[in-house]
């Protein structure tokens, strides 16, 4: 068992949480993302592997408009 880094007291339990993330004006909601939740203070950490997997899925589907360099297109 891992001890919580926030309160140094509780232990982290495996839970499935809802993952929320804003992308510009769009709110991404992913249900049942594995995470570790402190039983004492309620602090939580998403499973790093799950988050990375999510990010990869996300970036694969987003149109290429995130890079600021690509938006610099002069009218001439």
The CB density around residue 35, as the number of other CB atoms within 10 Å, is 19
- CA atoms lying within 13 Å on the CB side of residue 10: 15
Q: How far is the CB of 51 from Zn ion (least distance, A)?
A: 20
Q: Which residues of 18-29 are buried (b: 16+ CB within 10 A; e: fewer)?
A: ebeeeeeeeeee
- State which residue, 40 or 51, has the beta carbon closest to Zn ion: 40
Q: How far is the CB of 44 from Zn ion (least distance, A)?
A: 9
Which is nearer to Zn ion, 10 or 35 (by Cβ)? 10
3 or 62: whose CB is closer to Zn ion?
Answer: 3
Query: Minimum CB separation from Zn ion for residue 2, in Å?
Result: 10
> Reduced to 3 states, what is the DSSP secondary structure of residue 68?
helix
Residues binding Zn ion (CB under 5 A): 4, 6-7, 10, 38, 40-41, 43
């Amino acid at each position: 068992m891992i001890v919580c880094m926030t309160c140094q007291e509780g232990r982290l339990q495996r839970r499935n949480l809802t993952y929320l993330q804003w992308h510009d004006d769009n709110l991404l909601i992913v249900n049942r993302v594995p995470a570790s939740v402190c039983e004492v203070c309620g602090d939580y950490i998403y499973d790093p592997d799950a988050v990375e997997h999510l990010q990869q899925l996300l970036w694969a589907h987003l149109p290429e408009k995130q890079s600021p360099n690509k938006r610099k297109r002069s009218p001439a």
